[in-house]
Amino acid sequence: MNQDTEHPAWYRNPEIWVALLTLLVRFWFLMRLQDSPFFVPIPGGNDRSLYNGLAQNIAKGHIFPEGVFAYMPLYPWCLGLLYAIVGSTPEANICAAGLVGAMLDAATTFMIVRLARRLGASPYVASAMGILYALYPTAIIYSTTIMPNTLNAFLLMTFVVATRTLGTSPSRLRWFGAGLLAGVIALGFAGMLLILMICLANWAVCQVRRRAFNPLNLVCCLAGMALPIFPATLHNWRAEHQFVLVTAHGGFNFYMGNNPDATGYPIQISTFRGDAGSLLVDARAEAERIEGRKLTAAEFSAHWSDRAWKYIRENPGAEGRLLGLKFLKFWNRVDYDDMRFEPMLRLSDVAFTWPTWPGFVWIAWLGFAGLVLARGAGWLKLVVLSGLIGVIGFFITARYRLTFAPLLCVLGALGIHELIVVFCDPARARLKVIGTALVFVVTGAIAFLPLSQTDFRALDHLNTAAYLMERKMPAMALEQAISGIRISPYNAELRFVEGNAFMGLRQPKDAVAAYAAALEIKPSHAPAHFNMAQAWMELNEPQNAAAEALLALKNDPKHPHAWEVLEEARQRMQKINP
């Protein structure tokens, strides 16, 4: 009798049940999100808006941009195809994208449990790590909210599973297929190119040692990789007649991660706007100002890359410390989400309000321990370490770490398995037991290390309030603004949003007081001057309105509507005093 038949069905196929749990959790979140103001991204808000807009254009047939690619094209292409198939309202398109993302994440969880079991972990341990990923809030959010990271995580996991035994395969077709898969992934995840190059070098060394090296295998792999990348590169050449492999913003990202003010996280450059599209526009304008001429996309990227390399050459010690800090932050408990979407959902009581939701710290801790302890997982470790090198060369964010979270879950399962084996075997040497326990202590200390970080609470209230105002929900926005002001009383933006909320509630007198508070903190705040002018008009005080409109124009001569308010205020003044 087969021993497996003595166990229940879930024990024989735990990956199926864990994948179903993943689907259920994401369906629950998607339903919660649909009933919230955050379901449809606001125009010009963040990367969600960027990808949504790109997909809408692609669904209309605009597959290639007018210039070179300023973004990784794989996800927008896939999302645009989905929009074209669904072809309905924006809400239906976004819901379809969320459902597909949930299914991709379920497939990823399936592979986590399956691969962990194949590498030696017990069904219990493998299932536990799969459940940890299934309940990880960042994975839940990014799988259902028009972001590419879930697709990248799924494809990288697929690559690991598909190429686990590639180094011993003589099949050139299989080598070509591995390269083809890597090339597709590279269209959405630039770090895949570095991973593949390091893996090819490792395969070549291993084959030379076995005296089985065949250079045609590597050629087939590289040819497969080049095939999906070539159309993007050709388009970029036609657009600007310069070589841009996939996208032209890599140099600026490299600078953001390596400059005198770098912290390991993506910092906001003070003179640049914060949203994804405007940030690149401002970065290009600054580069052209410094160079004194118009720049092509390749030259724009090279400008910022050269500035980063200059900093690295002139400050090797500081760069070394920065790289060490990034390494620590990759494994640390702090889940730095540059989109700040999860805090907005918590503050609005949409989801994840329970403090018991598992964070990345558990995935990091157990994955780091598994990276040290796991046996028979050299290929998996190589991919993770290669990806880690690519990430710390730039900066650490929750969504960039998410790409590697499934692989870390597999390593975590193997690490726990090794711990159980060592502690349950009385014949093990005491030194082995102590060494294994010490690995978990050290990696846990790194994961839970209390690294300092910026207090984002006021910013989270500000983002939530601004989002709610875009959705015409001023009462809720006012609550968030007031909560943020309690944390940061001298925040001009929070006072400005507070004024906007009062205007939405038709309380112009209170709005004037809020705008006045914002202008006391930041007198050059042109939008506050303009909105205050509108509030004075509501109060039938055209003289005050005219004065504020003039101040708005003084601080922003190109303000689109200040002249209109100024003219209307003057007309009212003439009627009052003909």
Mark whether 40 and 146 lie in a shared domain.
yes
Based on the fold, state whether residues 46 and 140 are members of the same structural domain.
Answer: yes
Q: Which of 297, 322, 347 is the last residue of a domain?
A: 322
> What is the per-residue pLDDT for 578?
62
pLDDT (mean) for 141-160: 95
pLDDT tens digits for 503-515?
A: 999 999 999 999 9
pLDDT at 438 over 60: yes
Sign, Cα dihedral of 29, 31, 36, 41? positive
Please indicate, yes or no, if residue 493 is contained in any of the structural domains.
no
| Domain match, 171 and 218 both | yes
- The dihedrals phi and psi of 147, each to the nearest 5 degrees, come to -140, 150
- Domain annotation covers residue 515: no
Residues 367 and 421 in one domain: yes
Q: What is the per-residue pLDDT for 1? A: 40
Instruction: Quote the pLDDT of residue 188.
Output: 94
* Predicted local confidence at residue 433, as pLDDT: 83
Residue 370 CB-density burial (10 A; 0-12 exposed, 13-18 middle, 19+ buried):
buried
Q: Which of 79-93, 190-204, 254-268 has the lowest mean pLDDT?
A: 254-268
pLDDT bracket for residue 173 (50, 70, 90) = very high
276 pLDDT more than 70 = no
pLDDT reported for residue 58: 94
Residue-wise pLDDT tens digits, 441-461: 999 999 999 887 778 889 899
Residue at which a domain ends, from 278, 294, 322: 322
In this structure, are 179 and 60 located in the same domain?
A: yes
Q: Does the structure show a pLDDT above 80 at 540? A: yes
- How many structural domains does the chain have? 3
Say if CB 382 and CB 199 are below 8 A apart.
yes
Angle between helices 457-470 and 492-504 (to 10 degrees): 30
The predicted structure's pLDDT at residue 456: 86
User: Quick one: which of 420, 359, 374 has its CA closest to 116?
Assistant: 374
Q: What pLDDT, on a 0 to 100 scale, did the predictor assign at position 507? A: 94
Domain hosting 552: range is 523-578
205 and 138 in a common domain: yes
Do 163 and 312 fall into the same domain?
A: no
Beta strand spans in 360-400 (E): none
Residues 61 and 161 occupy one common structural domain = yes
Please, are residues 295 and 283 in contact by the beta-carbon 8 Å criterion? Answer: no
Range 321-335 average pLDDT: 93
Average pLDDT across the chain, whole number: 90
| Size (the chain), residues | 578
Instruction: Please indicate, yes or no, if residue 458 is contained in any of the structural domains.
Output: no
> 465 lies in a domain?
no
Same domain, 316 and 354: no
Q: What pTM does this model have?
A: 0.91
Residue 63 predicted with pLDDT over 70: yes
From residue 542, give the alpha-carbon distance in Å to each of 320, 526, 530, 563, 577: 60, 18, 13, 14, 11
Q: Is the pLDDT of residue 574 over 50?
A: yes
Of the candidates 447, 480, 501, which is a domain's last residue? 447
What pLDDT shows up at residue 248? 83
Mean pLDDT of 398-422: 94
Residue 20's CB: how many other CB atoms inside 10 A? 14
The DSSP result for 389-429, as a single string, is HHHHTS---HHHHHTTHHHHHHHHHHHHHHHHHHHH-TTS-
CA distance 575 to 492: 35
Comparing 271 with 234, which gets the higher pLDDT? 234
pLDDT class of 88 with cuts at 50, 70, 90: confident
Q: pLDDT-based confidence at 4, cuts 50/70/90? A: low
**288-291: Cβ within 8 A, 24+ apart:** none
> How far, in Å, CA of 408 to CA of 413, rounded?
9
Shared domain for 308 and 432, answered yes or no, is: no
Give which of 292, 166, 269, 272 is closest to 224, Cα–Cα: 166
Query: CA-CA distance, 390 to 347, in Å (whole number)?
Result: 33
The region of weakest confidence among 33-37, 213-217, 489-493, 574-578 is 574-578
Is residue 385 a part of any domain in this protein? yes
pLDDT of 275: 58
- Spatial distance between the Cα atoms of 175 and 178, rounded to a whole number of angstroms: 5
194 within domain boundaries: yes
The confidence score (pLDDT) of residue 425 equals 75
Do 223 and 116 have their domain in common? yes
Task: Please tell me the least confidently modeled range out of 33-37, 59-63, 207-211, 521-525.
Answer: 207-211
Spatial distance between the Cα atoms of 458 and 358, rounded to a whole number of angstroms: 24
Examine the pLDDT at 151 and tell me if it is beyond 50.
yes
Contacts of 100 (CB under 8 A, 6+ apart): 82
Which residues have a Cβ under 8 Å from the Cβ of 266 and sit 6 or more positions away?
A: 256, 257, 338, 395, 397
Write the CATH number for 571. Answer: 1.25.40
- Do both 254 and 220 map to the same domain? no
Q: Is residue 566 one of the residues assigned to a domain?
A: yes
Is the pLDDT at 278 greater than 90? The verdict is: no
Q: For the chain, what percent of residues have pLDDT higher than 90?
A: 62
Q: What is the mean pLDDT of residues 344-349?
A: 91
pLDDT of residue 267: 73
Q: Has residue 477 got a pLDDT over 50?
A: yes
Residue 176 has pLDDT above 80, yes or no: yes
472: in domain: no
Assign 3-class secondary structure to 322-350.
HHHHHHHHHHCCCCCCCCCHHHHHHHCCC
214 pLDDT above the threshold of 90: no
Taking 90 as the threshold, does the pLDDT of residue 224 lie above it?
yes
Apex 367 CA angle, 364 and 372, nearest 5: 125
Q: Has residue 426 got a pLDDT over 70? A: no
pLDDT at position 328 over 90: yes
